[in-house]
Structure 1
């Protein structure tokens, strides 16, 4: 079920409030807004969206023995990628960047935000269908600017279908398969990524895959492979390998 509202502060915040009031997560239900006035992204960034873009959230009920909840960001990435390929089969340069971005070449097309409350996770998704917000220091793009006119509700329906299938698989223990699906849609191996780490400062390495728990692997200049479990990862150069940073398959399978 997809419920559309004309304007809301944040679809994620609205679902979190329902959970706080004791409402059980309704998997498969989506809250979608025509306009969002106080949306947010990772690291507390403000993200507001205009008419024609997709801005929506859905809930996941966590169960014992499942994959780590943070892997849902990667599962959502697979679903969004699949939905985009459904509505725009000829889109070129579409790729996933760890942990939550969809890129076209070097420009951000969409993003994912997970927020947990007790035994539930709210998955918020934003995709620039009609227009791209201006984000200081970051390239952004919309499907419309790329010459692809996509009706928001058509994309919403494609996403709801893809997410229902992928979430069912995740609940059933198919995270290893979904991890492979994410890798098949990711930036090329060797793409230079940078991340700020509290104790080490800025670390740069070539994308080398994913750990089984969903952490991203970076191959550093000295050849060592480093697992990054949390951080704001930036794109340094797409498909570019520095000295000692090669396209080694260190994904673990």
Structure 2
């Protein structure tokens, strides 16, 4: 489903020339925001990916964070990674017209022609041990992809939207597509629960039914990617039986 280009009602937008990171700005702004707000930076000086890894953000690429205060338990907040992935796919299809070129890599990447074009970073902002705000960070290689030597060994090679499809967008133009797509999938989640989000995500999942390797800092599983469960955990059929893996990185 393509994204509607109209900005979603009740959602704010702040655009900066330079920030340390949009997730960091989300943490600073969260206490004063009246509602969900997108924070976009044309340049980031201290961008981060998963597990604190540096995130390369060349000029012209997309870096934004949606900060909100959903009144939900942490396990429910984590489902926004699937909401964000579907919204990204919708935005990409809207600007390229190429639905078959994009796939969703569990748990939080979007692939274009098999290469990584976008990543998602969720962070909960806590006070007194209780989550009180959620930051959904999104990075997209709009114009340039990091050099392959800059990514960790075994990771999917990065690609850019422009080099793979010829689409040339500013970060602001891409946000105009992403924000309404995210609002639509968020509405589905809050209205109907995770089931329709899960179904749509699985329809676009990379390597579903194929053998993959899931790794954490301590453990590794190899098996057939069967599905994701109602909590978003990866379900692998391994030599040791069916395994539910709540968090890991998968390798093809």
Cα 1:105–1:204 change in 2 (3 A) is farther
The reply to whether residue 110 of structure 1 matches residue 121 of structure 2 is: no
Q: Which shows bigger deviation, 203-212 or 57-66?
A: 57-66
The reply to whether residue 61 of structure 1 matches residue 69 of structure 2 is: yes
- Whether the 8 Å CA contact 1:106–1:235 is kept in 2: the answer is no
Gaps of 5+ in 2: 1-11, 126-130
Ranked by relative contact order (alpha carbons within 8 Å, sequence separation 6 or more), the top structure is 2
Cα 1:65–1:51 change in 2 (3 A) is closer
Q: Which residue of 1 aligns with 2:174?
A: 155
Q: Which residue of 2 aligns with 1:170?
A: 189
Cα 1:91–1:179 change in 2 (3 A) is closer
Q: Which residue of 1 aligns with 2:137?
A: 124
RMSD of aligned alpha carbons: 2.0
- Whether the 8 Å CA contact 1:61–1:119 is kept in 2: the answer is yes
CA distance in structure 2 between the aligned counterparts of 1:32 and 1:186, rounded to whole angstroms: 27
- Whether the 8 Å CA contact 1:115–1:123 is kept in 2: the answer is yes
Moved over 4 A (4+): 64-67
Q: Deviations over 1:32-58 (max 9, x none)?
A: 111111111111110031222111001
CA distance in structure 2 between the aligned counterparts of 1:147 and 1:212, rounded to whole angstroms: 34
Following superposition, the deviation at residue 235 of structure 1 comes to 2.3
Gaps of 5+ in 1: 237-253
Give the TM-score normalised by the residue count of structure 1.
0.84
Higher helix fraction (1 or 2):
2
Aligned residue pair count = 230
Q: Which residue of 2 aligns with 1:239?
A: none
Cα 1:8–1:170 change in 2 (3 A) is same
Q: Which residue of 1 aligns with 2:20?
A: 9
Partner of residue 194 from structure 1, selected from 213, 217, 221: 213
